[in-house]
Homo-oligomer: A and B are copies of this chain.
Amino acid sequence: MNAMPTSRVVSESPGPVESGDTADAPKRSRSVTRERLLDAAAQVFAEQGVAGASVEEVCERAGYTRGAFYSNFATKDALLVALLDREEGLLLDRLSAALDGALSQPDPLAAVAGRLFDLQPFGASKYALRAELTLLAVRDPDLAAPYLAARRSFRERFVPFLREGLAQAQLELIVPADDALDTLEALFDASVRSSIISGDANARDNLATRMLPVLLGAMTRPRA
């Protein structure tokens, strides 16, 4: 039945990315399979969109067959929901990690801006995935609730961070913090998108770095 010599599937380590396969793993846990399928789904959905991607290709990319898939997820939609949950968590974690030390830098704002751009979530693939998921929320009211919930936790996590960072620079906001965050996010997204489409994906000189100081200047004033 199995033409191939027993199985190749796993290279473990939840680390990023794909591998050709490698060592045979003696212990294949269910959760590893799930994670690999989710990793693959993130890639494939980013490249082709949720509707454009087939379960088959997700499985192939992960090194499994559809049997493995349906043994782990009820349907394609269920995969999407699981992916949504996971991505939200990952984004929060990575942003947190990247920003954590930044406030103690001499120039916190510059440090923040610099680190953000080295970050995976702003790479082409992650950008496309986020854009795709956002678009799904725009279209489908059922996904609006989870989307808004995710946004809420994002804000709750980063509004204090923003305030604190500004405070250390002796600044305070003169606009609602949520508005400030939304505006900055919009700026970053536009910048990343533009860089991707025009090809210079890693350009150090981009819309966000040019406009960030201007916008921050407009949204703050010297602290009382």
| Interface residue? A175 (CB, 8 A) | yes
Minimum distance in angstroms from A110 CB to a CB of chain B: 18
Contact present for A198 and B52 (CB under 8 Å): no
Contact present for B175 and A182 (CB under 8 Å): no
The number of chain A residues with a CB under 8 A from chain B is 42
| Nearest chain B residue, comparing its CB with the CB of A217 | B218
Contacting residues of chain A (36-85) with chain B, CB-CB under 8 angstroms: 47-49, 51-52
Contact present for B193 and A148 (CB under 8 Å): no
| Interface residue? A159 (CB, 8 A) | no
Choice from B139, B147, B194, B219 contacting A128 with Cβ under 8 Å: B139
Question: Lowest 9 A-B CB distances belong to which pairs?
Answer: A218-B218, A51-B52, A186-B190, A51-B51, A186-B186, A144-B197, A214-B218, A49-B51, A131-B135
Contact present for B138 and A128 (CB under 8 Å): yes
Q: Return the CB mask of A195-208 against B: 1 if under 8 Å, else 0.
A: 01111000000010
